[in-house]
Amino acid sequence: MSINKTTFHIKDMDCPSEEQMIRMKLEPLSQVKHLEFDIPARKLEVFHQEEVQAIHEAISELNLNDRLEDTSEAELPIGTDDSHQRKILWWVLGINFGFFVIEMTTGWISRSMGLIADSLDMLADSIVYGLSLFAVGAAISRKKKVAKISGYFQMGLALLGFSEVLRRFFIESETPLFQWMIIISTLALVGNMVSLWLINKAKSNEAHMQASAIFTSNDIIVNGGVILAGGLVYWLDSKWPDLIVGGIVFGFVMRGAIRILNLSK
């Protein structure tokens, strides 16, 4: 039977969570033979047999604002050895998890919700990278179970963070130590820049590598936000910049948890 290639434009596909959602939705379909993702371009190429209608319906159920662009005959791409890419992802996972521990510890010591929130953002990335690495080749049911556990764990941490921000908002609390905020966030910024350099060094067009680059670039922006908050804490002699940045980043963490939970449906 001939192979067709159908291209979809998926407007809301902008991180590894959506890629995993789509994979789990389409992999059980017997007519789907291969998937190629281009996350920066919001493009998905599905190599399949038979009609594309069932595939399109499955993607539409995820509510990611998809559009079918075209279908044509094609040949299945030749597989490639991704051991080097996996090694880079392990390094990126290690950097993210290491800074989660460092920022969580120093965040409590310095009373900075910005650092604590940034640490959970690092943990959220580690969960997504780990989910991708550990679940390769696993059954769909196992992937969904891992996704559900990870999502609820991340959501619980985000809710605890929000509650602490609210507690400090309504009661008198000490101004965070801005020196720790700036120093640790600067180190995390360097760590993320190293991660981005490693990913770009691979010069890969594979979806998981492109997605990792997007995630790491977003982390660099968050690190800059915490550094800015530290400067404002010093300048204004106030806890408010730290609480505001912490609340915003906890929102990102919660959004990531909801996306991961969508994988388990």
Supply the pLDDT for residue 80.
Answer: 45
Query: pLDDT tens-digit profile of 234-251?
Result: 999 999 999 999 999 888
Supply the pLDDT for residue 41.
Answer: 85
User: Mean pLDDT over all residues of the chain?
Assistant: 82
Query: pLDDT tens-digit profile of 20-37?
Result: 778 878 878 888 888 888
Domain ranges of the chain: 4-73, 83-262
CATH of 4-73, one of 3.30.70.100, 3.30.460.10, 3.40.1500.10, 2.40.50.100: 3.30.70.100
Annotate 10-30 with b (16+ C-beta within 10 A) or e (fewer): beebbbbbbbbbbbbbbeeee
What does the radius of gyration of the chain's CA atoms come to, in whole angstroms? 20
Supply the pLDDT for residue 88.
Answer: 76
Q: Which of 32-36, 88-92, 258-262 has the highest mean pLDDT?
A: 32-36
Examine the pLDDT at 264 and tell me if it is beyond 90: no
Q: What is the mean pLDDT of residues 2-16?
A: 86
Indicate the range of 77-81, 157-161, 182-186, 214-218 predicted with least confidence: 77-81
Q: How far is C-alpha 225 from the geometric centre of its chain's CA atoms?
A: 18
As a whole-number percent, the residues of the chain with pLDDT over 90 amount to: 32
Q: What is the mean pLDDT of residues 56-75?
A: 91
